[in-house]
Amino acid sequence: MMISQKMADAINEQIKNEFYSGWLYLAMAFKADEMSLKVFAEWFRQQEAEERAHAMKMCDYLSDQGAEVALSALDQPTFDGSSIGAMIDETVKHEIFITDCISKLVDVAKSENDNATFNFLQWYVEEQVEEVASVTELADLVKLAGPNQLLMLENRMKETIAQRASEPSA
């Protein structure tokens, strides 16, 4: 194994967090479906696919470094699903939490003098800046739209979704 056990354990913990993020967004996708907000549902499904890709990228990294990928049980997703606004706010909160997790992971890489992992994690550092910015913007738009203009907002979101779908996977 080319990385320390401490580093491998920390990455395995983050793999769980990334899969959990996907699990959370999938649960939110079905909630949005229940509310007949099909475009929001699609947006959450896209988020789920991205989170799974984030997790898989870490799995592949551990594997490349000769470390064990230790998958564990995922918690049941818990969130306020009372409205689409509440769910998007939960998404912002969750992405800020994940940003903090990545930051702590970078600290471990530094303390282990692990340049390869430090370098690998920079992709996630950048990705989190993008994620927090885009979900915060969406949270603002939901507030601006209010309950009566959610369908108009969904129309606007269709373009972003199509664009993301055409990008090579994260």
Q: Which residue is nearest to Fe ion (CB)?
A: 54
Give SS3 for 75. Answer: coil
In angstroms, what is the minimal distance from the CB of 131 to Fe ion? 4
Give the whole-angstrom CA distance, residue 17 versus residue 120. Answer: 17
CB of 54 to Fe ion, least distance (A): 4
Q: Does 54 bind Fe ion (CB under 5 A)?
A: yes
Give least dist CB 53 to Fe ion, A.
8
Is residue 131 within the footprint of Fe ion (CB under 5 A)?
yes
Kindly report the length of the chain.
170
Rounded to a whole number of angstroms, the minimum distance from the CB of residue 109 to Fe ion is 17
Q: Which is nearer to Fe ion, 89 or 131 (CB)?
A: 131
What mask of x and - would describe binding to Fe ion in positions 9 to 38, judged by CB under 5 A?
A: ---------x--------------------
- Our CB check for Fe ion shows the closer of 25 and 118 to be 25
Sole window of 70-78, 111-119, 123-131, 156-164 interacting with Fe ion (rule: CB under 5 A): 123-131
Backbone angles phi, psi at 72, to 5 degrees: -125, 175
19 contact partners, CB below 8 Å, separation of at least 6: 51, 52, 55, 71, 74
Q: Residue 24: helix, strand or coil by DSSP?
A: helix
Q: How far is the CB of 95 from Fe ion (least distance, A)?
A: 5
User: Per-residue DSSP letters for 77-126?
Assistant: P----SSHHHHHHHHHHHHHHHHHHHHHHHHHHHHTT-HHHHHHHHHHHH
Residues that bind Fe ion (CB under 5 A): 18, 51, 54, 131
